[in-house]
Amino acid sequence: MSRRRQIYEGKAKILYEGPEPGTIIQYFKDDATAFNAQKKGTISGKGVLNNRISEHLFTLLGTIGVPTHFIRRLNMREQLVRQVEIVPVEVVVRNVVAGSLAKRLGMEEGTPLPRTIIEYYYKDDALGDPMVTEEHISAFGWATQEEMHDIADLAIRINDFMAGLFAGVGVRLVDFKLEFGRLFEGDYSRIILADEISPDGCRLWDMKTSEKMDKDRFRLDLGGEVEAYQEIARRLGLLPEGVVGAVLDLDEHRKSRGK
């Protein structure tokens, strides 16, 4: 059996050449990083959960007309996706004050925003992914104004859908990160959703307790990362009720740690 060719390895995923032209195999790792990879660790089983959660969300978004790179899940850790040219801009959609927004503006975390805010960050680890404006993006040719209009429109549609979806299972969608790519069709290209959507790139809080159910548990040394990811999967209907070891109580976990 021939060894498949690795195209790229990032912090949380590895990309391999796909079985057909124009396809990529996306492999989800258990590696966890924070603060621009200054903090590193492993969350056992994270890749399996993220693969399943991202598949579920991308599939649902596809049913409401959001174009995505997702084709199908191959196994527990891999999915087949369309090959795209990634726009080098991270799109962050915010509904509630948290993370860097709270620090930058000196605002209390958890404060609801009067309206959804979209922020853009230039994808460059060496520079720490600096925040940029649409003027920077256009001036430096990272994306055209028409592409940015499409990106902003899609980001709002995705936020509206996901906020409702998570609210329906008792989870507040605080903020999340998106990446987009150009899918080439002949001489033309169009913007589609790429990368992944999972607790790695979303802030997800329990609506009753404000318990963090995302990678902030790793960032802030709260523990219970696997339990949090599993609980999100369970609430989305991706893990059956009553599975031993799959549904763990975060409150009990915190008490056991004396916090």
- How much is the pLDDT for 239? 85
DSSP-H helix ranges across 125-215 = 134-139, 145-167
Q: What is the mean pLDDT of the chain?
A: 91
**Banded pLDDT at 253 (limits 50, 70, 90):** very low
pLDDT per residue as tens digits for the range 69-124? 999 999 999 999 999 999 999 999 999 999 999 999 999 999 999 999 999 999 99
pLDDT per residue as tens digits for the range 133-190? 999 999 999 999 999 999 999 999 999 999 999 999 999 999 999 999 999 988 899 9
Q: For residues 28 and 48, is the Cβ–Cβ distance under 8 A?
A: yes
- How much is the pLDDT for 153? 98
**Banded pLDDT at 240 (limits 50, 70, 90):** confident
Q: Examine the pLDDT at 6 and tell me if it is beyond 80.
A: yes
Query: Residue-wise over 117-154: b if at least 16 C-beta within 10 A, else e?
Result: eebbbbeeeeeeeeebebeebeeeebbeeebbebbeeb
Residues of the chain above pLDDT 70, percent = 91
**Banded pLDDT at 38 (limits 50, 70, 90):** confident
**Banded pLDDT at 243 (limits 50, 70, 90):** low
**Banded pLDDT at 60 (limits 50, 70, 90):** very high
